[in-house]
């Protein structure tokens, strides 16, 4: 991840109440840059905070303090004692917001990171820390991953295949749009390959029956919902429903894009975060 524009980089570990260690990076803007709202970036499953490189760099240059972390079990973060659930991941986000003293923050969540952000916004008593939500390739319900896909995610054979660049890119081809640079495709492959099979399986399993639509109707912070027209991981119709249940949310279809918007269209995420930060 490029941090050339950062005036200060701070690494810290946030300990959760169930024993997980969440590795967090806090990037401060250059000295002399006008202060802007904090932005907290929450990656999707089988990715890490590395996925936000371009997004974080542009936000720092615009004067934002940026907080990004590896979700439990991903990257340098550990799993805790409790089973993986969206509620647990939302509590992790609350812990990160608290430990980094992020206030009036715009939270940007991609895919499973969006689930965590939505759960936090809908249920957390400290949701007053939110200034806005940017939701990329995510949904508020309908994520009942079939057994066959969960089994594949936890398969050692699948992991070995991901470790072979050509084959791994082919296996993950449907997760991205058609006109994506091969280098970007390989970043996606590398991230998936680095995720432990057990973690991939547990996370993809944990949303069965999860539905936060009704709770979201009382969310008062502004939101922007961005979804790739070619997303084959989460149906765009689910994103449209998400935008409908959050009062005043703005929905935007992203042409020629798939599911991995932080890699495919990072500047759209930057623009949306800055839009909400300026309100």
Domains identified in the chain and CATH numbers: 8-143+209-277 (3.40.50.1820)
Using 50, 70 and 90 to split pLDDT, how confident is the model at 33? Answer: confident
Residue 78: strand pairing partners: none
Tokens representing 264 are 């495919």
pLDDT tens-digit profile of 141-188?
Answer: 999 999 999 999 999 999 999 999 999 999 999 999 998 999 999 999
Angle at 102 between CA 38 and CA 116, to 5 degrees: 95
Tokens representing 200 are 């991939």
pTM of the model: 0.95
Within 13 Å of residue 256, how many CA atoms lie on the same side as its CB?
A: 5
pLDDT of residue 123: 86
């Amino acid at each position: 991840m490029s941090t050339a524009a950062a005036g200060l980089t701070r690494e810290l570990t946030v300990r959760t109440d169930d024993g997980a260690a969440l590795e967090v990076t806090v990037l401060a803007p250059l000295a002399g840059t006008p202060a802007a709202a904090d932005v907290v970036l929450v990656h999707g499953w089988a990715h890490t905070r590395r996925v936000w490189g371009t997004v974080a760099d542009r936000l720092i240059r615009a004067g934002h303090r940026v907080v990004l972390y590896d979700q439990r079990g991903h990257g340098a973060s550990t799993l805790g004692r409790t089973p993986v659930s969206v509620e647990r991941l939302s509590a992790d986000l609350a812990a990160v917001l608290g430990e980094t003293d992020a206030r009036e923050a715009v939270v940007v969540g991609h895919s499973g990171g969006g689930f965590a952000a939505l759960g936090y916004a809908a249920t957390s008593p400290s949701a007053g820390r939110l200034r806005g939500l940017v939701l990329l390739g995510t949904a508020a319900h309908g994520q009942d991953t079939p057994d066959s896909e969960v089994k594949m995610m936890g398969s050692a054979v699948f992991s070995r295949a991901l470790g072979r660049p050509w084959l791994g890119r082919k296996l993950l081809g449907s997760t991205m749009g058609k006109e994506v640079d091969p280098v970007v495709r390989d970043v996606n492959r590398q991230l998936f390959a680095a995720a432990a099979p057990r973690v991939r399986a547990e996370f993809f399993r944990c949303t069965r029956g999860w539905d936060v639509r009704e709770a979201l109707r009382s969310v008062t912070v502004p939101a922007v919902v961005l979804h790739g027209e070619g997303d084959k991981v989460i149906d765009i119709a689910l994103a449209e429903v998400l935008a409908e249940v959050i009062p005043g949310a703005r929905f935007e279809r992203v042409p020629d894009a798939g599911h991995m918007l932080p890699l495919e269209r990072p500047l759209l995420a930057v623009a949306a975060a800055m839009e909400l930060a300026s309100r």
